[in-house]
Amino acid sequence: MKIKYYGVRGSIPTPGRDTVEYGGNTACVAVWVDNKLIVLDGGTGLRVLGDELIETPFGRGEGKGTFLFSHLHWDHIQGFPFFKPAYIAGNSFKLYGPSQVDVTLEDTMRQQQQYQNFPVLMEDMPSTFTFTELKEGHTMDIDGIEIKNRRLNHPGGVFAYRISSQDKSIVYATDTEHYSAPDPGLLELADNADVLIYDSMYTPEQYKDHVSWGHSTYEEGIKIAKAANVKALHLFHYDPSHSDELIDAIVKEAQDDFPNTFGAKEGWELEL
Ligand SMILES: [Zn+2]
Ligand SMILES: [Zn+2]
């Protein structure tokens, strides 16, 4: 199993000199299991993944991929219209995610590409798409890869995912606000995972002014990582105001408490 980060920023892309190291693209993480591609969210980082995939069977219209959307806020879908493999006939993509506030996954994705917002309708993209809305707790098997989900705490709802194959597992839990005690659903999902990717939008001090905004902190990520016996914690979905310098300091502080903490960065790739 291989993970590569293409976008680690929350809310809005943040280009500029202060974000060069961690990157300014919004949420997008690629997971490969034996050359099978799973894409976690389609934020602006998806454009870069698409450009890389053009050098693979996706460039010849022979690619198959799976998208797991945590939810459908802009920072998790905005890269999709710029995903080049979707413009090549023969490629096929399965899109999984929640419906969002009474609008289906399919309608929300199509609405992003209405003419008033974007020049190409989704139905005019030549590759094929299938949409599946997920129910909480439903375990899927995609080409031998097990995918579990849990609903977490975020305005409009959000899914966290666990991807497991051959004794390795990754948990993706972004855009979630913690409760006073660790969420039992997330603890169960993250149990003994190799990697927990966790919403680290705010510093603990900033969180005090953002209660009920639907995001969390590295401290809460550490609580989950310890309680669920997670091997490595990856901080993710940084606030747009966070500079490289600040994120470095946050990662260092987190490592004092949980040494196997890493700050996810664009372009970082690791094999499990
Ligand atoms: Zn987000
Ligand atoms: Zn969100």
- For residue range 123-179, list pLDDT tens digits in order: 999 999 999 999 999 999 998 999 999 999 999 999 999 999 999 999 999 999 999
Best CA proximity match to 26, nearest among 45, 41, 40? 45
Task: Give distance in angstroms: CA of 18 to centre of ligand 2.
Answer: 23
Q: Which fold has domain 2-271?
A: Metallo-beta-lactamase; Chain A (3.60.15)
Position 88 pLDDT exceeds 90: yes
**91 has a pLDDT exceeding 80:** yes
Please name which ligand lies nearest the alpha carbon of 73.
2
Q: How far is the CA of 73 from the centre of ligand 2 (A)?
A: 5
CA distance linking residue 231 with residue 82, whole number of Å: 34
Name the closest ligand to CA 41. Answer: 1
* 245 Cα: distance to centroid of ligand 2 (angstroms): 24
Q: What separation in Å is there between the alpha carbon of 103 and the centre of ligand 2?
A: 16
Per residue in 155-169, is it b (16+ CB within 10 Å) or e — as a string?
Answer: eebbbbbbbbbeeeb
C-alpha of residue 74 to centroid of ligand 1, in Å: 8
Residue 101 has what pLDDT?
Answer: 73
Tokens 């310098």 found at: 245
Ligand 2 center–CA 53 separation, angstroms: 26
Q: How far is the CA of 203 from the centre of ligand 2 (A)?
A: 17
Q: Which ligand is nearest to the CA of 176?
A: 2
Least confident of 28-37, 42-51, 99-108, 245-254: 99-108
pLDDT of residue 122: 97
CA of 76 to the centre of ligand 1 (A): 6
Tokens encoding 186 = 């997330």
Ligand nearest to the CA of 71: 2
- DSSP 8-state assignment for residue 203: -
Starting from the CA of residue 72, give the closest ligand. 2
Which ligand is located closest to the Cα atom of residue 28?
Answer: 1
Kindly report the average pLDDT of the chain as a whole number.
97
Ligand 2: centre distance to CA 123 (Å)? 26
Quote the ligand 1 centre to 193 CA distance (angstroms). 22
Ligand that lies nearest to the alpha carbon of residue 236, given by its number in the listed order = 1
Q: In this model, does residue 51 exceed pLDDT 90?
A: yes
- Are the beta carbons of 191 and 24 closer than 8 angstroms? no
| pLDDT given for residue 99 in this prediction | 82
Are 41 and 28 within 8 A, CB to CB?
yes
Distance between Cα 12 and ligand 1 center (Å): 8
Query: pLDDT per residue over 210-268, tens digit each?
Result: 999 999 999 999 999 999 999 999 999 999 999 999 999 999 999 999 999 999 999 99
Check residue 100 and give its pLDDT: 74
